Amino acid sequence: MQDGPALTAAAIQRRYLAQALASLDAPFMPVWARAVCAEWRAMLDRLEQAPHGVERTLDWAIKLRLYEQRARRRGLAWQTLPAWTPVLTALEEVRQRLADGETNEASVTPVPSVNESVVLDSSGPYRECVADMTPHLEAHGLRWTTLDAVLSLRRELFEIDTRFGQVGAEGLFTALDATGSLDHRFAGIDRIAEAVDEPPLEGRASRRGEIIRRAARERRALLCTWDSVVDLDAHQQLDLSDPFEARQEWVACQRPDDGPEFLGLFRHLRRRQANRA
């Protein structure tokens, strides 16, 4: 705070809530403001017991519970996974250097995928990385022989994250909801099925949906985030950082590296596709 003390995010929310409560009878307040403030207060109270208090309600807590359950099935302690992050990052950097070293010759040796047997090969390309990262693993009581389980778990967590955000009947959230495992619904909030296919009529969601539908019909490649759409073939980018902007103003990405960071990933995927062709 400007006057010195620090506040948690929840404490800041309570200050916002107090301002809203003080204005409940103001003429600019909608009729549903009182009910929203009651739910707001209740959620802040539940967040004080997070993650357990919100593990059936808020996305991040629901996914955390799923992740922890999957880690236990793999025989891994969830708390140990952060220690693997720098190890996996270092291995990926080696793999990326190997991939970048590929030539355009007709016969190119494919870069081996990262796994225990390849990484622990004493004459393989990862031997220096193994020597560098072994003290880190040992300091956290971890072993290289767990690498395959960690990699498998990471792929499963990526899949859970993707399927959780998938709309419609195939999505993981929908499946959990159907079993009664979640507690997130509010009376009067409906038209959910319609929202799966129909974005809001105003704002960036409407423009993003229109662009994606057109690109799907024309079979063009796009990369979309909350605040941008990139046309990968035309090297053009649409700025959606303003949720209320109504214009569609595309700007050129002179080179892929000039665009968002994820264009580097796209270049890598395109290169792989070209090699397979």
Per-residue model confidence as pLDDT tens digits over 205-217: 888 888 888 888 9
> CA-based diameter of the chain, in Å?
75
H/E stretch holding 229:
strand 228-231
The pLDDT of residue 194: 82
What is the pLDDT confidence band of residue 98, given thresholds at 50, 70 and 90?
Answer: confident
E-assigned strand segments in 29-169 = none
* Whether 156 and 91 share a structural domain: yes
The pLDDT of residue 251: 87
Range 154-165 average pLDDT: 94
> Residue 127 above 60 pLDDT?
yes
Instruction: Give a yes or no: residue 241 inside a domain.
Output: yes
* Whether 181 and 81 share a structural domain: yes
The pLDDT of residue 275: 61
Last residue of a domain, one of 198, 216, 245: 198
What is the pLDDT confidence band of residue 105, given thresholds at 50, 70 and 90?
Answer: very low
Rounded to the nearest 5 degrees, what angle is found at the Cα of 166, between the Cα atoms of 230 and 232?
15
CA of 211: how far to CAs of 216, 238, 252, 258, in Å? 9, 10, 17, 22
Strand order in the sheet with 222-224: 222-224, 228-231, 236-239, 250-252
Residues 6+ apart with CB under 8 A from 3: none
Residues 6+ apart with CB under 8 A from 87: 133, 136, 137
Last residue of a domain, one of 147, 167, 198: 198
Range 30-34 average pLDDT: 93
Mean pLDDT computed over every residue of the chain: 86
Instruction: Give a yes or no: residue 62 inside a domain.
Output: no
Measured distance CA(77)–CA(128) in Å, rounded: 27
State pLDDT tens for residues 182-203: 998 887 777 777 887 888 787 8
Instruction: Give a yes or no: residue 89 inside a domain.
Output: yes
* Whether 182 and 208 share a structural domain: no
Question: What is the number of structural domains in the chain?
Answer: 2
Q: What's the sign of the alpha-carbon dihedral 159, 213, 58, 265?
A: positive
Range 52-59 average pLDDT: 94
Strand 228-231 vs strand 250-252: parallel, antiparallel, or unpaired? unpaired
Chain Cα centroid distance, residue 226: 11
What is the domain range of residue 82?
Answer: 75-198
Amino acid sitting at position 34? R
The pLDDT of residue 276: 54
> Residue 13 above 90 pLDDT?
yes
State pLDDT tens for residues 128-158: 999 999 999 999 999 999 999 999 999 999 9
pTM: 0.70
The pLDDT of residue 109: 55
Residues 6+ apart with CB under 8 A from 120: 126, 130, 144
Task: Decide which of 223 and 133 is more confident.
Answer: 133
Least confident of 73-82, 193-202, 219-228, 251-260: 251-260
Rounded to the nearest 5 degrees, what angle is found at the Cα of 158, between the Cα atoms of 155 and 160?
110
Last residue of a domain, one of 160, 179, 198: 198
Instruction: Give a yes or no: residue 127 inside a domain.
Output: yes
Torsion angles phi and psi, residue 95, rounded to 5? -60, -40
The pLDDT of residue 106: 41
